[in-house]
């Protein structure tokens, strides 16, 4: 364990000769690294692990700090934000409260309609989960199979699973502390999932640049470096917003990263602006689709194992 942490947090000269050009010269570190100039740079895999770990530690620390301050001031801790420290201004919070009242009214209407019309359908199929939630709320002690019999729902594996989770869903909707714990678990799974998804996404990148003479490992080095920059940039914006709340900083962060990614692809793969733009758009579309599916899968796993 000591060896692992010593390797992760050994901020020697290589750390600084890697992080500075990585921030200001898109694609340069990856290009030099695969060209054989490896002595001056940190190992891309180790560097990614170090920065990502620091990023998640920052999130955990700022969340704990916020909870402590809220507890000391006698306030309830916030649990609606997936990433702590990301806040909106007071005026937006007031608008959110008004919106929540409208949403609550809509939910009440929806519940009434479900009670009167238990066979509410979407695309011709009954919304079973809503019936399950309502039934469990009124009959929390009833066993799964008995509940499904009462609801006239087939006792398939999926139906048994969803009814077994109705208690958790109802608890999340009523108990903020449970929702917070689920968010933490989802965040911990996300860090692992991202580490797995990056090598898979590299396969798509290799397909996009199939005519370029780059090996899979060289593509992977580029992916690790760009993702490391993502964590570095997000950490910087995150800490700035933590100490001084800013409006729409996420939009500015996204703009900076997308511009960086485009320049990194152009400099690393050495193609023209137009070709790079086409492949850049294609790569981002694939990445969004891929990560969206991955996020749904990880959310389901976190929900199932919670």
CA quadruple 74, 79, 84, 89: dihedral sign = negative
Whether residue 269 contacts residue 209, with contact meaning beta carbons closer than 8 Å, is answered with yes
pLDDT of 103 > 70? The answer is: no
pLDDT at 105 exceeding the cut of 60: no
Q: What is the pLDDT of residue 150?
A: 84
Give the model's pLDDT for residue 237.
Answer: 84
Q: Give CB contacts under 8 A, 24+ apart, made by 130-139.
A: 132/162, 132/163, 132/166, 133/166, 133/169, 133/170, 135/166, 136/163, 136/166, 136/167, 136/170, 137/170
* Chain centroid, CA 36 distance in Å: 34
The tens digit of pLDDT for each residue in 167-203 reads 788 887 777 777 777 777 777 677 777 778 888 889 9
Residues 6+ apart with CB under 8 A from 152: none
Q: What secondary structure does DSSP assign to 136-180, as a single string?
A: HHH-TTS-HHHHHHHTT----HHHHHHHHTHHHHHHHHH-HHHHH
Q: pLDDT at position 91, please?
A: 47
More confident residue, 268 or 10: 268
| Backbone CA torsion sign across 41, 46, 48, 51 | negative
DSSP label at residue 78: P
Q: What is the pLDDT of residues 132-175, one digit of tens each?
A: 888 888 888 888 888 888 888 888 888 888 888 887 888 877 77
Largest CA-CA distance found in the chain, in angstroms, rounded? 72
What percentage of the chain reaches a pLDDT higher than 70?
73
75-94 confidence digits (pLDDT tens): 554 444 444 444 444 444 44
And the tokens for 5?
Answer: 């942490």
pLDDT band at 225 (very low <50, low <70, confident <90, very high): very high
pLDDT band at 6 (very low <50, low <70, confident <90, very high): low
pTM metric for this prediction: 0.67
How many residues comprise the chain? 306
Which range has highest mean pLDDT (71-80, 201-210, 216-225)?
Answer: 216-225
123 has pLDDT over 60: no
Run of H or E residues at 221: helix 216-243
Contact call for residues 52 and 188 (beta carbons, < 8 A)? no
Per-residue pLDDT reduced to its tens digit, 23-76: 999 999 999 999 988 888 989 998 998 888 888 888 777 766 566 556 555 555
């Amino acid at each position: 364990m000591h060896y692992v942490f010593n390797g992760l947090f050994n901020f020697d000269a290589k750390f600084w000769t890697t992080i500075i050009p990585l921030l200001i010269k898109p694609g340069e570190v990856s290009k030099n690294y695969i060209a054989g100039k490896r002595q001056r740079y940190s190992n891309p895999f180790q560097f990614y692990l170090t920065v990502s770990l620091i990023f998640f530690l920052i999130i955990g620390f700022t969340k704990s700090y916020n909870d402590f301050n809220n507890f000391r001031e006698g306030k309830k801790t916030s649990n609606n934000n997936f990433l702590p420290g990301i806040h909106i201004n007071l005026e937006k919070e007031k608008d959110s409260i008004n919106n929540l009242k409208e949403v609550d009214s809509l939910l009440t209407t929806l519940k009434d309609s479900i009670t009167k019309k238990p066979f509410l359908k979407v695309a011709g199929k009954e919304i079973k989960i809503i019936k399950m939630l309502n039934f469990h709320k009124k009959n929390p002690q009833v066993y799964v199979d008995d509940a499904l019999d009462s609801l006239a729902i087939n006792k398939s594996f999926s139906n048994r699973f969803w009814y077994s989770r109705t208690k958790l869903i109802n608890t999340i909707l009523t108990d903020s502390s449970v929702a917070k714990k689920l968010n933490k678990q989802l965040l911990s799974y996300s860090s692992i999932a991202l580490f797995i998804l990056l090598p898979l996404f590299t396969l798509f990148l290799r397909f996009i640049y199939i005519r370029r003479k780059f090996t899979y490992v060289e593509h992977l080095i580029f992916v690790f470096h760009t993702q490391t920059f993502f964590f570095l940039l997000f950490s910087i914006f995150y800490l700035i917003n933590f100490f001084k709340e800013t409006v729409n900083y996420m939009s500015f962060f996204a703009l900076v990263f997308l511009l960086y990614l485009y320049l990194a692809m152009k400099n690393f793969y050495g193609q023209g602006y137009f070709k790079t733009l086409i492949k850049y758009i294609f790569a981002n579309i694939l990445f969004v689709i891929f990560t969206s599916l991955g996020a749904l899968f990880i959310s389901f796993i976190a929900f199932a194992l919670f």
